[in-house]
């Protein structure tokens, strides 16, 4: 049942920011938070409070879900590379006529001593690798690995939360692990495996930056995949604090 005096907030999650937002809103009077996860990770880190799992069935399904559950506002706090979900949220919120905020942590910035090679896509990253090194540390997630299959002259160390599925690169070692990581740990890993080049998405945030510092220290090139664009015209926040301030303004507007 939906209390008419309550603001129902749908948080599209799967990120540290989404969990922190759910925690920040947990005890707010007049606010009910429902966090949504895609259901891909076998043992996800769960936010506090109510959680639902699984896709909605595209923008039409999400619109229906918003309406059936009396959602008053949507926060898209998905990962910067979850482009389909972000596009779907923009379309569905527009159709349902509810405010939408994109909560997206800033991207990483190159610093002195970094040797980063910005690239527009995973495919472009794969194409660039033979010219950069033969021993590759892949940190782009298990579902990206098929893009690197076929690069038979290269050796890959791929780190992921869950085991990857074929097609996979022929010379592949998988390391099942979940951040945050330390610079010391990343240095050991890269040295032990004689890594020559690192591949990452521009995920941003602090959970997985250690590899970038380690690569800098070892003088290794890092192929950085650029983020997909966010839908135009949607307000955006970079921090949980900005998001809660925006929600306060929305709640004030809806009450008034
Ligand atoms: P995606 O390609 O943008 O989404 C594919 C489909 O998965 C969406 O169309 C939607 O299905 C469903 N989906 C995605 N996120 C959802 C959510 N939070 N709640 C309910 N359904 C969701 O997304 P993805 O890149 O596969 O990411 C999936 C999840 O993993 C997201 O929650 C994201 O925050 C998290 N994650 C992604 C990455 C990454 O590198 N992509 C990294 C860390 C965490 P329907 O169309 O059926 O609604």
Q: Give 195-205 pLDDT, tens digit per residue.
A: 999 999 999 99
Across 77-84, average pLDDT:
98
* Residue 168, Cβ density class (10 Å: 0-12 exposed, 13-18 middle, ≥19 buried): middle
pLDDT the model gives residue 105: 97
Separation of 208 CA from ligand 1 center, angstroms?
Answer: 19
The reply to whether ligand 1 has any atom less than 6 angstroms from the CB of 82 is yes
The 10s digit of each residue's pLDDT in 151-162 is 999 999 999 999
What the block records as the tokens of 116 is 């980063």
Separation of 82 CA from ligand 1 center, angstroms?
Answer: 5
> What's the chain's Rg over C-alpha atoms?
20
Across 208-217, average pLDDT:
97
The 10s digit of each residue's pLDDT in 127-168 is 999 999 999 999 999 999 999 999 999 999 999 999 999 999
Model confidence at 170: pLDDT above 70: yes
Q: Which residues pair with 75 in a beta bridge?
A: 11, 101
Model confidence at 241: pLDDT above 60: yes
Separation of 220 CA from ligand 1 center, angstroms?
Answer: 31
244 vs 206: which has the higher pLDDT: 244
> What is the 3 state secondary structure string of the chain?
CCCCCCEEEEEECCCHHHHHHHHHHCCCCCEEEEEEECCCCCCCCCCCCEEEECCCCHHHHHHHHHHHCCCCEEEECCCCCCHHHHHHHHHHHHHHCCCEEEECCCCCCCCCCCEEEEECCHHHHHHHHHHCCCEEEECCCHHHHHHHCCCCCCEEEEEECCCCCCCCCCCEEEEECCCCCCHHHHHHHHHHCCCCEEEEECCCCCCCCHHHHHHHHHCCEEEEECCCCCCCCCCEECCHHHHHHHHHHHHHHHHC
The reply to whether ligand 1 has any atom less than 6 angstroms from the CB of 144 is no
**Side-chain half-sphere exposure of 139, counting CA atoms within 13 A:** 29
| Dihedral over Cα of 132, 179, 16, 78: its sign | positive
Residue minimizing CA distance to atom 37 of ligand 1: 79
Separation of 153 CA from ligand 1 center, angstroms?
Answer: 32
Distance, first Cα to last Cα, the chain: 23
pLDDT the model gives residue 153: 97
pLDDT the model gives residue 2: 61
The reply to whether ligand 1 has any atom less than 6 angstroms from the CB of 79 is yes
Pocket test for ligand 1, best of 47, 84, 91, 225 (most atoms within 8 A of CB): 84
pLDDT the model gives residue 98: 98
The reply to whether ligand 1 has any atom less than 6 angstroms from the CB of 83 is yes
Model confidence at 174: pLDDT above 80: yes
78 in Cβ contact with 14 (< 8 Å): yes
Q: What is the pTM of this model?
A: 0.95
- The pLDDT confidence band at residue 5, using thresholds 50, 70 and 90, is confident
Across 104-133, average pLDDT:
98
The share of the chain scoring above pLDDT 90, in percent, equals 93
| Closest of 246, 230, 211, 196 to residue 108, by C-alpha | 211
The reply to whether ligand 1 has any atom less than 6 angstroms from the CB of 11 is no
The reply to whether ligand 1 has any atom less than 6 angstroms from the CB of 59 is no
pLDDT the model gives residue 254: 77
Residue minimizing CA distance to atom 27 of ligand 1: 82
Relative to the CA of 82, which ligand 1 atom is closest? 3
Average pLDDT along the chain: 96
Across 50-77, average pLDDT:
98
pLDDT the model gives residue 253: 80
The reply to whether ligand 1 has any atom less than 6 angstroms from the CB of 66 is no
């Amino acid at each position: 049942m939906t209390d008419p005096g309550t603001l129902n907030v749908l948080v599209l999650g799967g990120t540290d920011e989404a969990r922190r937002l759910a925690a920040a809103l947990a005890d707010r009077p007049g606010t009910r938070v429902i966090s949504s996860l895609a259901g891909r990770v076998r043992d996800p880190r769960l936010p506090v409070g109510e959680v639902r799992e699984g896709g909605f069935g595209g923008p039409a399904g999400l619109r229906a879900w918003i309406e059936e559950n009396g959602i008053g506002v949507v926060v898209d706090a998905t990962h910067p590379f979850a482009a389909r979900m972000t596009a779907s949220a923009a379309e569905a919120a527009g159709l349902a006529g509810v405010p939408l905020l994109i909560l997206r942590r800033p991207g990483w910035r190159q610093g002195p001593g970094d040797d980063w090679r910005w690239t527009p896509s995973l495919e472009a990253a794969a194409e660039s690798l033979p010219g950069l090194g033969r021993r590759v540390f892949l940190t782009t997630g298990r579902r990206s690995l098929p893009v690197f299959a076929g690069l038979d002259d290269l050796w890959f160390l791929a780190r992921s939360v869950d085991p990857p599925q074929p097609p996979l690169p022929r010379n592949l070692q998988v390391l099942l692990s979940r951040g945050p990581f330390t610079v010391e740990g990343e240095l050991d890993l890269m040295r032990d495996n004689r890594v020559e080049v690192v591949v990452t998405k521009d995920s941003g945030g602090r959970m997985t930056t250690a590899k970038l510092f380690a690569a800098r220290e070892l003088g290794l090139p890092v192929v950085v995949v650029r983020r997909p664009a966010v839908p135009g015209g949607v307000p955006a926040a970079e921090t949980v604090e900005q998001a809660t301030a925006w929600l306060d303004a929305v709640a004030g507007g809806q009450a008034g």
